[in-house]
Amino acid sequence: MNEKNYNPSLIEKKIQNFWRSNKTYKAVKSADKEKFYCLSMFPYPSGNLHMGHVRNYTIGDVISRFKRMQGYNVLQPMGWDAFGLPAENAAIENKVSPRKWTKENIQNMRGQFDTLGFSYDWSREINTSSPNYYRWEQWFFIQLFKSGLVERKESEVNWDPVDQTVLANEQVIDGKGWRSGVEIERKKINQYFLKITKYAQELLNGLDDLENWPSQVKLMQKNWIGKSKGLNFSFEIDKRDEILEVFTTRPDTIFGTTYCAIASDHPLAIDLIEINPEVKKFIKQNKNKNKTEAAIAKQEKIGINTGLKAIHPITKELIPIWIANFVLMEYGSGAVMCVPGHDQRDYEFAKKYEIPILQVIKTKDNRTIEKEAIEEKGILINSSSYNDLSSDEAFEKIAKDLSRTCDAEIQTNYRLRDWGISRQRYWGCPIPIVHCDDCGHIPVNEKDLPIELPEIDDITSKGLSLKGFKEWQKTNCPNCSKPAKRETDTFDTFFESSWYSARFASQPNNCMLDDEADYWLPVDHYIGGIEHAILHLLYARFFNLLMRDQKLITSTEPFKKLLTQGMVLADAFYTLDKNSNPEWVHKDKVIKNGEQLTLNDGSKVMTDGMSKMSKSKLNGIDSKVIIDKYGADTVRLYMMFTSPPEQSLEWSDTAIEGSYRFLKRIWNLISNRSIYKGTIPSNFSDAELALRQKSHKTLKKVTHDFDERNSFNTAIAAVMELLNAIPDSFKENKATDGEKLCLDETIQFSLKMLSPISPHICLYLWKEYSGTDGNDFEFSWPETNEKFLKLENFQLIIQVNGKVRGRENVPIDITQEEAQEIALQNKNVKKILSNSSIKKVIYVKKKLINFVI
RNA sequence: GGGGAUGUGGUGGAACUGGUAGACACGCUAGGCUUAGAACCUAGUGCCGCAAGGCGUGGGGGUUCGACUCCCUCCAUCCCUACCA
């Protein structure tokens, strides 16, 4: 069965069949092995695995395989985040049902997974769009509902008046619907919210225990939760009964308040619509503006003076109340006190509308507020009796004083808002609520679960929603049995991905999770894109706490160790359609005429630059073509070799040949040899010893790189270096026993070390080379022998004023005096030092000596 | 705008704790093999310079005997910004 030339497609198929028939990767609870649960974020089944997927899943597979070799009982499952918007878009474009489209994509992608040789336990496969999965999500929602963790309230959505549908933020381009091209409207509708803010403090505290999470991810989550201490108080309004409630983190600057700003949908603003035509115009103009945080931050800050005056709680001065487009009703109380002297956004607004700017804080460097606001804390000035207090002292004193006069209260605030989980979509998990005229909003009876999605019958060019399924909506109230209507919203798809990691660890028939979950959980190593650093990872952590509090699991955090891989970026191109909306085009359709990019019909193509591979931007590089050409082992090797996992990677396939060449070299070295069965010599020559040292040193480094650093590129480089270091004579037939033994050790180590990365070729060669069935190969890792790691000499670097002027090979245990003597003998060093006196000598053991002159 | 990251030869990257910058590859150049090509093998390859030597890790400044690494500042690129997943 020995093939002469390296033929990846042939050997990969053979090895994959071997795995399949042996059920090598089925995960079973075990008492005598330590468990290791390795999970890569499951994909949205968009149709094809692109190189971003390949990178993500290869990292997870390398870690799984390495841990399995180290003797752990490894669980590595895979599944499909199958609900979501792209299926609906495909449905509208191609008149195909989302279910069918998703199913076909899954089949296609599962095939691609198999070609890549990932060691998944497919018996645990999850498809989130299957009722078997989402019925437990519905069940869990009902438990949360009964625990008071669900709230129903009004909230705004993007409404497309032409397509009569709610649009996602990414479907709104420059304030217009992506298909209709008309201005979208902001519409308030009732939606469900999960009270994640109740867990804000615990989610924040939990970050401290996540030792093996990247610190930047923890920092991002911390900033997102955004705990702050501030003062909540109210302004009285001149000539009106109402009060204006505000929250500020800087009560020390209260004497600098020269205006207040409210949201355009603040009750006070709405009151003025009838009275003040200017206000009415302003509110109307701003009503349908994009309300994403980024859009608000970028738009020009504009406002209008309402004519109303707030009464400053201390000075009793009258200060104007403005309506401003940067204040949102959905955050806090929808009103803020503005201190232009000490807040840059307020400063710019004040300059624009010629509102007075006061300085009430003095800094050490005595800056003025002539050019910009002073945002840091300092000493109070122009603040009557509070002058000369520090910001912190003034905070306490002002809070205390205001608590007597205007209900001020020191408050801890979180930036984190409750999680809106309602989506006005078809392709999602139905929210199990029934609306009854008499009883209100009642959760479905548990025995009636799952509430299945109806089959789609008519696909129109508009958005899809359960609102169209009139028959499906008809039901009876779970409470009073009278005719009632089903909720037509579905869950945010983050709902599904918030608990799939627990479901993988458990395979019950009639409940959400069983005892096996606590055996595998928490996930020991979680791998996924950095783009999920906040939302998905925060929601999953939140869900873990909810499941703990519902006594379904015992752990507090779902993911012990996290690796956030950088994105695989590729050029994205687009043209403009008749509505001047961007329409993405695939790179293969773009023709380059010098600097000009066009399609073959001559229409102009623009570039969006490097951006993450995605279905919507059509810039995903399909993995299939490359696997067909080089085989899975080469593709896996290349993806791991070309850059460290955390870094983003601009796709280019020009260097993949090198990885292919390397595997061919290994093939040529090993495929015509067999394991060394001779005697073990008692002495080794210097060259033999050098190779043994290199082998053991490499093994140590690679083990460390895999285990501690997840630095696969350097591990591969080390193995390449090791193989380059084999003297040619060792490979010849006439080689001595010692040489053959050393070569054998190098080969065995190398196959083991590369096996997690390129598993097919390594296992195949091992079976041939060892003459065994290979069953044990993937379950053991070689050990380093410290004897071969000891060094006898090292290269002493000789510096003069920090510049390298010479090198000498010296014994490892040399003293500083001896080192200095040798260094001073060095010709070049001698020459440089000849006319100067040495002021200082710095000696770093086993490294260098530096003469300062 | 805010939050988070990244920036090193022609290219991907290495340098793990402040101590030899450019490991390992790609590409390129020359040579070998070959009828020719592919594949493969050998040697060279940061920049300037004939050389001695100098310069060099996005730009500018600083700390240090010594800085890719620490500090300040500016620039560029990428991700997230609550309904893409």
| b/e A367-404 (16+ beta carbons within 10 angstroms → b) | eebeeebbeebbbbeebeebeebebeebbebbbebbee
Residue A216 has pLDDT above 50, yes or no: yes
| Chain B bases near protein Cβ (<7 Å) | 1-6, 11-16, 19-21, 23-27, 39-41, 53, 65-67, 77-85
Scanning residues 96 through 155 of protein chain A, those with a beta carbon under 7 Å from any atom of strand B turn out to be none
Q: Which residue is nearest to nucleotide B6 (CA to C1')?
A: A647
Answer whether any strand B atom is within 7 A of the Cβ of A701.
yes
| A309 CA – B81 C1', rounded, Å | 34
DSSP string, A182-199: SBPEEEEEEEEEE-GGGG
Answer whether any strand B atom is within 7 A of the Cβ of A422.
yes
Confidence at A461, pLDDT banded by 50, 70, 90: low
Residue A341 has pLDDT above 90, yes or no: yes
Phi/psi of residue A826, each to 5°? -60, 125
- Burial class of residue A644 in the structure, from the number of CB atoms within 10 Å of its CB (0-12 exposed, 13-18 middle, 19+ buried): middle
Higher pLDDT, A806 or A741: A741
Answer whether any strand B atom is within 7 A of the Cβ of A659.
yes
Answer whether any strand B atom is within 7 A of the Cβ of A320.
no
What pLDDT shows up at residue A594? 57
Percent of chain A predicted with pLDDT > 90:
69
Q: State the Cα angle at A280 between A274 and A283, rounded to 5°.
A: 135
Query: Which of A249, A224, A261 lies closest to A347 in space, CA to CA?
Result: A261
| A367 CA – B74 C1', rounded, Å | 21
| A846 CA – B11 C1', rounded, Å | 35
Mean pLDDT of all residues in A731-748: 92
User: CA A347 → CA A49, A312, A339, A357, A623, distances in Å?
Assistant: 49, 19, 7, 7, 52
Higher pLDDT, A405 or A137: A137
Q: Give tens-digit pLDDT for A154-163.
A: 999 999 999 9
Which DSSP symbol is given to A521?
P
Scanning residues 273 through 292 of protein chain A, those with a beta carbon under 7 Å from any atom of strand B turn out to be 292
Residue A1 has pLDDT above 50, yes or no: no
Query: Which of A376, A382, A292, A311 lies closest to A342 in space, CA to CA?
Result: A376
Residue A80 CA to residue A101 CA, distance in Å, equals 13
| A792 CA – B46 C1', rounded, Å | 32
Q: Give tens-digit pLDDT for A648-672.
A: 888 888 889 999 999 999 999 998 8
Domains defined along chain A, listed by start: 26-129+494-567 (3.40.50.620), 150-194 (no CATH), 227-414 (3.90.740.10), 570-612 (2.20.28.290), 654-788 (1.10.730.10), 793-852 (3.10.20.590)
| A554 CA – B50 C1', rounded, Å | 75
| A167 CA – B74 C1', rounded, Å | 40
What pLDDT shows up at residue A2? 42
Residue A820 CA to residue A845 CA, distance in Å, equals 12
What pLDDT shows up at residue A76? 98
Residue A850 has pLDDT above 50, yes or no: yes
What pLDDT shows up at residue A303? 94
Answer whether any strand B atom is within 7 A of the Cβ of A731.
no
Answer whether any strand B atom is within 7 A of the Cβ of A198.
no
Answer whether any strand B atom is within 7 A of the Cβ of A345.
yes
Q: Which residues is A592 bridged to in the sheet?
A: A597
Query: Which of A123, A131, A25, A80 lies closest to A505 in space, CA to CA?
Result: A123
| A537 CA – B58 C1', rounded, Å | 33
Q: Give tens-digit pLDDT for A686-714.
A: 899 999 999 999 999 999 999 999 999 99
Q: A235: number of CA atoms within 13 Å, CB side?
A: 32
Residue A357 CA to residue A362 CA, distance in Å, equals 14
Q: Which residue is nearest to nucleotide B12 (CA to C1')?
A: A642
Answer whether any strand B atom is within 7 A of the Cβ of A651.
no
Q: Give tens-digit pLDDT for A486-518.
A: 999 999 999 999 999 999 999 998 999 999 999
